[in-house]
Amino acid sequence: MAQITNVGILTSGGDAPGMNAAIRAVVRTALYHGLEAYGIRHGYQGMVNGDILKLETNDVSNIIQRGGTILKTSRSKEFMTAEGMKKAYDHLCRNKIDALVLIGGDGTFRGADEFFGKYAIPAIGIPGTIDKDLSGTDFTIGFDTAVNTAMEAIDKIRDTAEAHDRVFIIEVMGRDAGYIALNCGIAGGVEDILIPEEVTNIEDVLARIDHDERRKKNVHLIVVAEGDDFGGAKELYAVITERFPLLDVRTCILGHIQRGGSPTFADRVLASRLGHASINALLEGKTQLMAGIINNEIVFTPFSSVVKNAMSSDTDMKEIIRVLSY
């Protein structure tokens, strides 16, 4: 592999708290090793459009605590065409970028696998997605912050639910995976958690509400992932209010609030470790790999093997929900 001199950095797909910390780590590690760093704005679309700027150490000062991404992000259909990929490659060549660090999720690495199959540019990926649904890593940048945001919202909702003796349905992100719902639900002490990985038995949900009503339990909180097979908060609300017309039922869809905010210490440290590791990996000749963390050790997984990873059945977690909500 030829010696690397100029590294491009981009963020792609959904934003996640901690992406800026990763950008900072990549840029400063590259500069430390005598490389030049270039930011590619708006993800793959920016690579297609040539939206590229040189980054110095001051450009990444005071961003470790910021949510979002200073490089912006997007999802690019044009990049997935042969013409779009050729444009992207030409812009990389014009800027003399000879290596890339890609921060994103499943779609980011699928696009990378196809692109680097055509164009031989060394690249390392960093998992940045609040869903924590990638193989090859125990944690993804943004997950810890998103779960804490959802948990804090549940705590606040519990206060008003208790004041009014209400049933609350709280919808969290998780189109394909229930990691956020399961973890914030257990941490928030909720009565029921509905996730995409399991078929929802609505009669069981209604029976638990009836059980709580009979024993005069004042608060009943349900967390549902947006991708649950039965539907989100609105669908649950319709069924519950039809069965229990006298109950005071409310819904709260947390939505994109889970993507924003200052990253937690866990996300800042994870982003810093993976950003540092990505440059070291490129200098060691590694390419087309995602840097992840398993058992607190840095590991690397080929882009072709990084796929969305559905949550496995965890009987211990389910037992916790059933017992502690009794």
- Which residues, in sequence order, are CB contacts of 283 under 8 Å at separation 6+? 4, 33
How is 204-254 classified by DSSP, letter by letter?
HHHHHHHHHHHTT-S-EEEEEETT-TT-SHHHHHHHHHHH-TTS-EEEEE-
Q: Pick the catalytic residue: 106, 131, 144, 228?
A: 131
CA–CA distance, 301 with 164 (Å, rounded to integer): 50
Tokens of 13: 């797909």
Query: Nearest-CA neighbor of 8 among 93, 111, 87?
Result: 93
Radius of gyration of the chain (CA): 22
Q: Which of 308, 156, 132, 169 is nearest to 252 (CA)?
A: 169
According to DSSP, the β-strands at 36-40 and 249-253 are unpaired
Q: Is 106 a catalytic residue?
A: no
Q: Catalytic residues, which ones?
A: 131
